[in-house]
Amino acid sequence: MKKIIFTVLLFQIVGLSAKNIIDKKELPEFVQKELKKTAIHLSNYKNQNMVKGGGSIASIGGDVNCNYNVNSTSIQDLINNASITEIRLADTTSYFEDLFISDKSISIRGGFANCMDANSNNQSNTQTLITGSGTAPVISISGSSETHNIVLQNLGLTNGQGAEFFHGGGISTLGASASITVDNVNIFGNSGTSGGGIAINNGDTDVVVFNSFIQNNIAENGGGIHCLGTDASIAILGSSGVLNNSATDEIGPDATGGGGMYLTEGCVVSVFSGSKDNPSQYGISGNTSQSNGGGVLLTNGAKLNLYGQVFCYGNNCYGDASQPVNISNNKVYDNTAFDFFGNGGGIYAYGFQSDTQVYMQGVLINNNHADQHGGGLMSNTADIELQIDNASCWDHMRCNFFQGNEAKNSEGDDSYGGALYLSGSNSIINNTFFEDNRADYGVAISLRTGITNISGSVLNNNGNSGQSGLSDNYVVSFQDSSAITMEHVTITDNKAETGVLGRMDSSTMSLNIYSSIIHDVNSSSLFDGPTGFMSTNLDCIIAHDLAFLNTMIATNVLNENPQFVNSAQRDYHLNSILSPAVDFCVLHNTLGDTRDIDGQLRGWDDNLVGNNQGNPLMVYDAGADETYDNDIIFANDFEQK
């Protein structure tokens, strides 16, 4: 589970070497902006918690020590009282209300056993339940005269129903200028047209969800969360989850659905929460959609930032590098009347004529299902980027991990892209593992138009030889003028039918492969399909099948076993003594990725191994790993990682 870090950044430099110096990659502009905004919001909230009060504080409940008794005064009455800035709810009674906050800064805090505790600010971590009427949102927020600070802490919000203008069931905003903190709140059992749990509708609205859960809510779009607006943003941190929500719309346009979240019109959502051991309890998990986007759907310039490593702003650092951001166990179904639904089991990103973007760093995308295409993720003309930096990550190698996703149709339609289906997308995939994914075509990745760059990545153990109702054709499939570059990629131990790389038509195509290992004896030939109208650059490749490489006049190719450390245990590091991939290649660096799957710098000249062709420039290992095992100083990871 995720635990947020409020700490002063301390650098411990112990045995630091050239191969593990932290060099953070340049983040996309929207990610930098959102990290800064989130850090400032959290810092302000932390400071506010240190000096609780500052205005009139009112306790409400059912015992004699309460400032206000719930039998004669409502929570709404206290919100309407201009002098009251903090309301403390005692657990000595039940609360049945629909609350409306307009143009006011207010804190509503639960978790007090009684009003004596509330008056002395003796707060526990329990959640005080507010049950809505079932005819309106539990909490509605509006007002734009100035930016108001709203804190909702230690609460349960249930039985809300979206209404006209305020479409969400649990928390719903309309054109609000507000900084909203949702801390230890359980938003469950609500419904709405857009955003069963939370709905942000335009306005300059900044929401931070901390140690909270949005679960078991229902809406037509955005079962858990619906966010709309260029100045709207949501950050989800700590031990939080968007879980088991449902999007029910079956007849809308292509960009319809979003079981967990629906993001549109420029809204930005950042997720820092997740778990490697309990992915069904944290992160974005168990959501369903009847159209597209089982976990998340984003469209019309919306942006999604999944950030599973620590980020720092000023002297404070936030996040948790010991856990990934997980998108897990989500499902999207194919409406029986329209075959264009059922895409993006984990994420569906629709970017037609808009700047829709997904950025991922330190993620676990696993066990998602799509009835059509993109078991883990489908991009329809949106930009996708997977990166890591060389700081600590939840898994030493598999810092970005697509595992166990499937695209499988029960009606006989062909499915594409077990992990990824990228259509018209500009995609950057760095340092990512793809394992145990399945589809009819492209068991790991299916490409249709667009530009895809893959570096420092491993595709292994995908497909299952056409068993259990899936065809498992090709590890990577291409259609409709795809352009792909692979550099320092390892493809091995898959069980795909027909071939490793499969070209499914004769449209113009560009294929570049550099410094890679494609040793996949269980997946038939290296390449299947026509070779006309194809431009290629193929250099420094160790492969199980050279027929295609020789036809296309590839250079520096070798048909030998690459000798991994332990393929049976899925350890695809190179055996430094036996592997022919060591010091086999020259520098290409066409994609700018200078580090291997362990974060080590490429291009270490192993003096115990003769360079390929005796060329002093051939000091780069083929494949995703750069072995340092013969480095007597660092062979046992003497240096601090």
| 156 part of a folded domain | yes
Average pLDDT per block of 10 residues along the chain, 641 residues long: 39 27 66 93 82 74 98 98 97 98 98 98 98 98 96 99 95 98 99 98 98 98 98 98 96 84 98 98 98 97 97 85 98 77 96 92 98 98 94 94 96 93 97 99 98 98 97 98 97 98 97 98 98 97 98 98 98 97 96 92 91 91 95 50 37
Q: How many helices (H) and strands (E) does the chain have?
A: 4, 55
| 358 part of a folded domain | no
| 28 part of a folded domain | no
| 96 part of a folded domain | yes
pLDDT per residue over 540-565, tens digit each? 999 999 999 999 999 999 999 999 99
pLDDT per residue over 109-122, tens digit each? 999 999 999 999 99
| 562 part of a folded domain | no
What size, in residues, is the chain? Answer: 641
Q: What residue type is assigned to position 556 of the chain?
A: N
pLDDT per residue over 579-622, tens digit each? 999 999 999 999 988 999 999 999 999 888 889 888 899 999 99
| 36 part of a folded domain | no
Q: How many structural domains does the chain have?
A: 1
What residue numbers bound the domain in which 205 lies? 54-120+123-216
Residue labelled with tokens 């667009």: 450
| 454 part of a folded domain | no
How far apart (Å, rounded) are the C-alpha atoms in residues 328 and 373?
16
Q: What residue type is assigned to position 316 of the chain?
A: N
**60 beta partners:** 68, 89
Can you point out the beta strands (E) in 175-301?
178-188, 191-194, 198-201, 205-210, 213-215, 218-221, 225-228, 233-237, 241-243, 246-247, 261-264, 268-271, 283-285, 288-289, 296-299
Q: How far is CA 121 from CA 45, 210, 233, 339, 511, in A?
A: 17, 20, 31, 56, 64
Three-state secondary-structure class, residue 32: helix
DSSP structural state of residue 473: B
Structure tokens at 322: 């010991």
Phi, psi of 59 (to 5 degrees): -100, 145
Q: Chain-centre distance of CA 175, in angstroms?
A: 27
